Each structure stands twice: as C-alpha cells, then as structure tokens.
Chain A
Amino acid sequence: MKYQLELNGISKSFGPVQANNGISFAIKPGSIHALLGENGAGKSTLVKIIYGSVGPDEGSMKWYGDSFSPNNPFEAREKGVAMVFQHFSLFESLTVAENIVLGLDDVGLNDSIVNKIEKYSIQYGLSINPHQVVGDLSVGQRQRVEIVRCLMQNPKLLIMDEPTSVLTPNEVTDLFVTLRKLAEDGCAILYISHKLEEVRQICKHATILREGKLIKNCNPQEHSKDEIAEMMIGKKIIKLTRKNIKHGEEIFSINNLNLSSEDMFGVNLHDINLSVRKGSIIGIAGVAGNGQDELMRMLIGEDRAPHSTLIFKGKDISKLNSHQRRQLSMFFVPEERLGHGAVPNMGLDENMLLSRPSSSRMTRNHIIDWNQVRRLAKDVIETFNVLTPSVSAEAQSLSGGNLQKFMVGRELIQSPELLIIAQPTWGVDPGSANKIHQALTDLADQGSSILIISQDLDEILSLCEQVHVINNGKLSPSVDMESNGLETISQLMLGASIQ
C-alpha cells in the first residue's frame, strides 16, 4: 500500500545541535499518528521540515509514493498539508468567516464560502457560527475555527500541535469525535502531544523521538502509559504516591476575598474562601484567564489584599510583602519563569536572592554572604538535577524545564510550611515534570501544605486531595471526587453555577 507520507533518514542540525538524526517513519492515509517526545526531542524541527519551513540536511520524503520536498509552507499546503498551531492566529475583531477567508490563499468572501463553513461544521461536529466575532468565542471554539480553516484546503495530512493543552475535558471529547470522523474520511492526522492518556485513546500509531533520534514506531494502545513515558525520557518513571497523608489543623485560609482589578483586562475576584490544612495538597483548576493571575499576585503579596482576608498560622498577612511572608515560611513559585520567578540576565546564584528568608543566612544585616548564596545555589542544582554549566550561568540560558526545577528547588530547600505554586510543570518535559511532582508529594508527606493553581487537570487530579475550580473570579467549594467528580469539574470550568 501507499503511505500518505513517508520519511526516510531525515537529519537536520543547527550549528552544533543535532535536532533530527536519521528519522524514518510513515503515516498511513486516514490514520491518526502520534508524534511523541520531550521538549527538545526534535518534534518541532521535524514538523517544520514536513511543513516546508525548514529544509532537511539529509534524507528524503515521499508523498503518496511521489518524491516530496516542499521549499516553503505554500508548496506544502498545495500538496495538502495543513497545520493547526498551538497558538492561534486569529483576528479577534473579525468574524469567523472573515478570519477563514484571510487564511486562504486566493478566495474572497462570498456566500459559497459561508455555505462551505456551515457544511464542514455540520459534517464534523464543529459547531461554529460563521458570522460570530472571534473575540466572543471560547478557546475551544477558536480551535474549531482553525480546524475549519484547514479543512477548506481539503487537506490530506492535518498536523495538530498540542491541541488539547488549552481545552476543558468536554471540549477534548468533542475534538476527538471530529478527529475520528476526519480520519474516516481519509485525512491522515499527525498528532503531537504530551498527554499520553489521550494519545492511547485515539492513536493507533506512534513515533517516539528522544534527543533527535527515532526510538520506536509502535502502537501506543499496546503499551502502558508508563512504558511510553519511559521510552520518551529513557528512564524509569517513578510512581507518585503519598506515603503519609495526615491532615493537621488549618494553617492558611482565604476569607471573603474580593478584589476589583485595576487592569481593564483583569478579572475581578468575588468572595473567595479557602481553607488549607497542614499536610494537604489542594488544587485550583480552571481555564486560563479566570482570575488565577490576580489571585496569585495577592497570595504572593505583590498586590496587597484587603484587611484580614489572608490568615497564615493565625496571623493576618494580608498587608505583608512577599519577603515578610517568606519570613513566616510561606513560599511561592509563579507561573512565569523569565522576568517573574527569575531575572533573565542574572546568574542562578544572584537569582537565589529573590527568595531570601533570614533563616537561609544569605544576608546578615542586609549584607550579602556570597559564599552562602553560592553554596545554596549549588545545593539546589545538585538536589534537583538542574542541568547548567555553572552556578553563575544566566537564568535565560537554561531550558524551561531546568529553570523550573531550579525555581521549585530554590523554594523547597527553605522547607516551606506552605508552598503556593502556579503551573508547576507548564512547558516542562515529562522527566522533569515527574521529578517536580515527586518533590511536591515528598514535601506534603513531611507535613507541609501545598496549594497548586494549574490548568493541567491531569496534574491536579493526580496530586491533590482537594480540588476547587476557579471561573470568572469565583472559586467553587471543594469538589466531591467520589460522586461524578470529573463531570462536576468540567461543568464548573465552563462556568456552571456553583451549588
């Protein structure tokens, strides 16, 4: 049989970095084929080669039996390659139909286009209204617009880059229905994702890359999630288990916190209440932009909270700044790494000073003890396996996963009684993510409390004993996971009223 796309020995290097090294695999027509690998494994380079924006150094490709070497994305699209990017490129002030026409190479806006949009949206269960303005759409709906835009080109191969990272569980289910229908109609799909559970659900073929090399072509449904993860990172995955769940008395509470945001695009927080007990891990789930940033700023102390809304160890900390809160053993890891949790152009040692409670002995009477600073930095680097040339390497020279390990480690070596962490593993490869999750459960086992704010529902479900959902600035009561918990969370994420 003929393959839709065949890759033979593709190699590509950028300077000293070998991004792809002799990669071969083939995608059958009408199949959903997963491309798996950690960050930096060479997935994006490979996709760029297929999409024509980068040329390979070596190797060749075949498109339904014919030689295929697109010089630019335009040529690739002509052949029938389409791509839905992780970050959408839509104009918010234009309608769905206008956006779709803009993405096409040579058509104007007319009724037949609108009809075509409606036809596809019915055929593939992509319910969108062509006349609606994109700015009013949810993230999931925007993704449908991107998919319809691709379908207009009658693609033979649809590339999807991390399509579910921004979706709620129900939206994911809908997307899978669409993808299966597309595949049945003969369109091959190259599906890039970190979420192995999803890959095992919808893909019958998978290509696993590691450090630019092909590790295996296999059927992911014949392997367990852990086996696949181990192939991706080349190491054993350690199972997450809490050895010692013991909930003590309340250590931290948020009481009737209200805040109207000063930022015109900000979210107002409404009447937020939360109680954290010693030794517990609590998760706040929710789609991005529902008040997580505002809440986090308040919790860190970057914005002052209203009087007596935040109580830590019986003390009102609402008006304390982050340094004063750290003195009480409350520590933080913000979502953004460069420019927030770390100063990009400063060394790791200097970055240690962002979190410097007196107990760390990094400063004495405001005078910095650089030997102590470097000693602690080394400690963090060794304990958390941060890959860096030296303690004085600039934060921006580290990869995302390594910098995240450093930032988490920097707070953890202070043995926090309460750790508040946003997006602990955002953009972090599975190996590092596993290490960070392990460190968090270990901390809680020792009796400390952790509050996790994350969009990654899998992460929250695997770590937290108590889950809340934030939607439009309101925090739900804790969700009872025993009775249909996942369904309740999905409803709450989409803004269902809180019972």
Chain B
Amino acid sequence: MIRLQTRTNNSNAMVFLSPILALTLTALSTFFIFFLAGVDGFGAFYVLFIEPLSTKYNFSEMLVKAAPLMMIALGLSVGFRAGVWNIGAEGQYTVGAIVGGAVGLYFYEVEGFWVLPLMSLAAIVGGMLYAGIAAFLRTKFQVNEILVTLMLTYVAILLLSAMVHGPLRDPDGFNFPESRLFHDSATLPIIWEGTRVHIGLALAVIFSFLTYFWIKKHISGVQINISGSAPRAAKFAGFDENKAVWTSLLISGGLAGLAGLLEAAGPVGQLVPHLPTGYGFTAIIVAFLARLNPLGIIFSSLLIALTYIGGENAQITYDLPSSITSIFQGMLLFYFLACDVMIRHKIIFSFSKNINHE
C-alpha cells in the first residue's frame, strides 16, 4: 500500500528536486506520446526543447514571448497569494492594448520621447480600471471575481474588434479591420540588435525584483500573503480585506494592461483583432510553475515560452497538430503541482498487512 505522510518540516531538498523531477517526468511522458503517435522520439525531442535554444532567431523569439508572460504572471501571482482569483488577465491585456494604442494613434506622427511613456501609463490605467470593475463588484456586492474577470475577457475582445472595425481603423487600410501601424515614437525600442527583443523584457525583469522585495519587506506585501492564507487572521491583524482585493486586482490589471500595450507597440506594431492570443490564460500556468515566487516567474515564463517556440517547430517539422503546445503546458503544470506535494509530504510504501486506521 502506498500512502502520503505529512512531513513535520518542509523538505528543503524537495524544494529544489521537485522541479527537476517534474521536468524529467514531462520529458518521459512526451516521449511516450510521440511513441504512440509514431514519431521519432529523439528527433522530436530535439526539435521541441533543444532547437529553440540553438539558433539566434529561435532564442530571441523565445525572449519576445517570455516578456508579456512574465509581466502578466507577476501581477497574477500577487492576486493568487491574496486568494483573489483574477482569471481574466487576457481581458485586461486587451483593454490595455486598446487604451494605450489609442493614445499612440491620437498622437500619430507626433515625435517625442514622452509618447511611449504616456501610452504605457494609459495602458496601465486602462488595465487597472478594467480589473477594478471586478474589485468593485467583489467588495461592494460579494460578486465572485472569477466569473466577473472571465466574462469581461470576452467583452474586451469584442471591444477590440469593434474599435479596429470602427474609430481606430486605418483610414488608408482598404477597410481591413486594423489600425494604422504605430509610428516610430510609439514603437518600443529594440534592446537586442537584429531581433524583435524589446525593452519590455527588461521592464518585466525589473518588475520581478521589485515585486520580490515588496512582498518580502513591505507590510502590505505580507498582508497579501496573510489575507490569502487565513482571512480571519488578516482581520485580527487589522488588515482591511477589501484593500487586499483592490491592491491585488489593480496590480494584476495594471501589469496585464501594460503587457498588452508592449505586445501591440512591440512585435505586432498595430492594433489587430487577433492581438489577444491567450497569454493572459497561459500566465496562470507561469505563475503556478513559479510557486507564485516573483523571481521564479522569470524562469517559468522562459520555460513556457520555450514550449511555444518548440511546439511551432514541431508542427512544421513533424506535421503535428498545434495543440501539442497546450499538451506540454498542461503536462508541465500537472507534474509540477504533483511533485510539489512531496515538499510537504513523503510517500510511504508499506507492505505490512496490519492496517490499523488511526
């Protein structure tokens, strides 16, 4: 019989071993799936995990994808610590792109160093206000934020579509549902010559460190943790529960909004209906892979970005369906969560027949 026994203390060894174990299990399962699909396992493995790291183009594309994931996951991790489940980062991302993009288009052809900061600020405020709807409904009427944020995602996506079909449509664009291309002052500076890697990546890394220190050193960062783990204890400490809800939704909304603008003013270069590609949802996986640790999110966002690039390569080389990326991401999360159980528990194999229930 196999059973789980709670450890008296968390195992420090497992804190480090669990991700390695999870990656190994994911790799083995991948191998097995390829075997079932009749694909050369070693070759596919190379295409998925090694090739994206071996050429400059693939590597830089991985960084480009990691930037928005990192930014959104950071905000979400704050909320998840507080027990505030913002599932609609995708919507806040979209609204951020619309609002920030609209500012860029308003100042079309106006040159100035202030255009991008102004667009970013607008995007952050846009994302915050959008997430603020959920915060308002939760604090005033106890409406579940999971439902509100999720449903508002679809509203945001339709709003984007309405905008690029209407007021923000490119006047010289032959009625295509797209905005104008952002002009130079409204486009993100590239930080790696010859690639699409933009300043958003640097921002995201800086934010990771800032969030880390905020959570460790500032009393409101500790409040977020306590509110999530033991709401009554938070009240006992004199923390305002509503403040935790507002703080975490505004932070996650603001960061998601900024990520949306970075994508629009970065790799995409304009507003298009298909701007939201699911980063807001994937970032949930990123946040949990990092165990909600802001510094861990730097690594987990790179890992998930790798599965995107590897998945695309596998589609091309082995003619595999596009859902291969989702399968990896799902397996990664599954194994990470499963292996993390070992931090608090140990597995006992017992073969004695004496089954005394206690």
Contact present for B354 and A354 (CB under 8 Å): no
B217 CB-CB contact with A under 8 Å? yes
Nearest CB of chain A from residue B220's CB, rounded to whole Å: 7
Chain B: CB-nearest residue to A341: B236
What residues of chain B lie closer than 8 Å to A363, measured between beta carbons? 219
Most chain A beta-carbon contacts within 10 A, residue among B9, B225, B237, B354? B237
B340-358 vs A, CB cutoff 8 Å, 1 = contact: the mask equals: 0000000000000010111
A368 CB-CB contact with B under 8 Å? yes
A interface secondary structure, majority = loop
In-complex Cβ contact of B237 among A323, A345, A368 (8 A): A323
A393 to B7, CA, bound (A): 12
A302 to B234, CA, bound (A): 9
What residues of chain B lie closer than 8 Å to A356, measured between beta carbons? 219, 237
Nearest CB of chain B from residue A363's CB, rounded to whole Å: 5
Contact present for A346 and B229 (CB under 8 Å): yes
Chain B: CB-nearest residue to A353: B222
What residues of chain A lie closer than 8 Å to B357, measured between beta carbons? 53
Contact present for A367 and B229 (CB under 8 Å): no
Nearest CB of chain B from residue A43's CB, rounded to whole Å: 15
Size of chain A's interface in residues, with CB distance under 8 A?
Answer: 40
A370 to B217, CA, bound (A): 8
Residues of chain B in range 187-241 having any CB-CB distance to chain A below 8 Å? 216-220, 222, 225-226, 229-230, 232-233, 235-240
Contact present for B238 and A342 (CB under 8 Å): no
Most chain B beta-carbon contacts within 10 A, residue among A339, A344, A370? A339
Asked if A397 meets B9 with Cβ closer than 8 Å, knowing A53-B357, A322-B236, the reply is: yes
Asked if A324 meets B238 with Cβ closer than 8 Å, knowing A344-B230, A346-B229, A354-B233, the reply is: yes
What residues of chain A lie closer than 8 Å to B220, measured between beta carbons? 366
A23 CB-CB contact with B under 8 Å? no
Contact present for B240 and A350 (CB under 8 Å): no
Contact present for A353 and B236 (CB under 8 Å): no
Contact present for B217 and A368 (CB under 8 Å): yes
A108 CB-CB contact with B under 8 Å? no
Nearest CB of chain B from residue A221's CB, rounded to whole Å: 35
In-complex Cβ contact of B238 among A55, A322, A370 (8 A): A322
Contact present for B238 and A321 (CB under 8 Å): yes
Nearest CB of chain B from residue A340's CB, rounded to whole Å: 5
A346 to B233, CA, bound (A): 11
A21 to B226, CA, bound (A): 41
Contact present for A341 and B354 (CB under 8 Å): no
Nearest CB of chain A from residue B292's CB, rounded to whole Å: 13
Most chain B beta-carbon contacts within 10 A, residue among A48, A302, A350, A356? A302
A130 CB-CB contact with B under 8 Å? no
In-complex Cβ contact of B219 among A302, A325, A353 (8 A): A353
Nearest CB of chain A from residue B243's CB, rounded to whole Å: 11
Asked if A346 meets B219 with Cβ closer than 8 Å, knowing A55-B354, A354-B237, the reply is: no
What residues of chain B lie closer than 8 Å to A301, measured between beta carbons? 238
In-complex Cβ contact of A389 among B9, B233, B238 (8 A): B9
In-complex Cβ contact of A322 among B222, B235, B356, B358 (8 A): B235
A355 to B235, CA, bound (A): 11
B277 CB-CB contact with A under 8 Å? no
A345 to B235, CA, bound (A): 17
Contact present for A343 and B238 (CB under 8 Å): no
A346 to B81, CA, bound (A): 13
What residues of chain B lie closer than 8 Å to A354, measured between beta carbons? 226, 233, 236-237
B8 CB-CB contact with A under 8 Å? yes
Contact present for B233 and A339 (CB under 8 Å): yes
A54 CB-CB contact with B under 8 Å? yes
Asked if A366 meets B219 with Cβ closer than 8 Å, knowing A54-B356, A54-B358, A345-B229, the reply is: yes
What residues of chain A lie closer than 8 Å to B236, measured between beta carbons? 300, 302, 322, 332, 334, 340-341, 354
In-complex Cβ contact of A342 among B219, B233, B358 (8 A): B233
Asked if A367 meets B217 with Cβ closer than 8 Å, knowing A353-B222, A354-B226, the reply is: yes
Nearest CB of chain B from residue A450's CB, rounded to whole Å: 18
What residues of chain B lie closer than 8 Å to A389, measured between beta carbons? 9
A350 to B234, CA, bound (A): 12
What residues of chain A lie closer than 8 Å to B356, measured between beta carbons? 53-55
Contact present for B237 and A353 (CB under 8 Å): yes
Asked if A368 meets B222 with Cβ closer than 8 Å, knowing A54-B356, A393-B9, the reply is: yes
Chain B: CB-nearest residue to A321: B238
What residues of chain A lie closer than 8 Å to B358, measured between beta carbons? 14, 48, 54
A-B complex: 8 closest residue pairs judged by Cβ atoms: A323-B238, A322-B238, A354-B237, A321-B238, A302-B235, A343-B230, A340-B232, A339-B230
Sample of 23 A–B contacts (CB below 8 Å): A53-B357, A54-B356, A55-B354, A300-B235, A300-B236, A321-B238, A322-B235, A323-B237, A325-B238, A340-B236, A341-B236, A342-B230, A342-B233, A345-B229, A346-B226, A353-B237, A356-B219, A356-B237, A366-B218, A367-B219, A368-B222, A393-B9, A394-B10
Q: What 9 additional pairs, Cβ within 8 angstroms, besides A344-B230, A354-B233? A: A302-B232, A322-B235, A340-B236, A343-B226, A350-B222, A356-B237, A366-B218, A368-B216, A394-B10
- Interface on B for A, CB 8 Å cutoff? 8-10, 216-220, 222, 225-226, 229-230, 232-233, 235-240, 354, 356-358
